[in-house]
Amino acid sequence: MPKLIIKDRSGKKSEIEFNSNFTLMEILRDNDYGIEASCGGCCACATCHVYVDEKWTNKLKNMDDDEESMLDQAFDIKNNSRLSCQIDLSEELDGLEIEIAPE
Partner 1 sequence: MIEKTDVAIIGAGPVGLFAVFELGLLNIKCHLIDNLDKVGGQCAELYPEKPIYDIPSRPIVTGQELTDELIKQINPFKPQFHLNQQVDKITKTETGWIVETNIGTKVEAKCIVVAAGAGSFVPRKPPIENIENFENKNVFYAVRDKSMFSGKNLLIAGGGDSALDWTNELSKDSNVSLIHRRKDFRAAPDSVSKMQELETKGKIKFLKGQIKTISNTEDSKIILQYENDEEKSQIEVDYLLPFFGLKMELGPIADWGLNLHENLIKVDTEKFETSTPSIFAIGDINWYPGKLKLILSGFHESALMAQEVFKYCFPDKKNIFRYTTSSKELQKKLGV
Residues near partner 1, by CB under 8 A: 38-39, 42, 44-47, 65, 68-69, 72-73, 75-77, 79, 102-103
Q: In what order do the strands lie in the sheet with 13-17?
A: 13-17, 3-7, 96-100, 49-52, 81-83
Nearer to ligand FAD, 16 or 44 (CB): 44
Residue 44 found at the interface with ligand FES (CB under 6 A): yes
Nearer to ligand FAD, 42 or 77 (CB): 42
Residue among 25, 14, 19 nearest 82 (CA)? 25
Among 43, 56, 57, 97, binds ligand FES (CB under 6 A): 43
Beta-bridge mates of residue 51: 81, 99
Residue among 48, 103, 55, 102 nearest 80 (CA)? 55
Q: Considering the complex, what minimum distance in angstroms separates the CB of residue 33 from partner 1?
A: 18
Nearer to partner 1, 16 or 63 (CB): 63
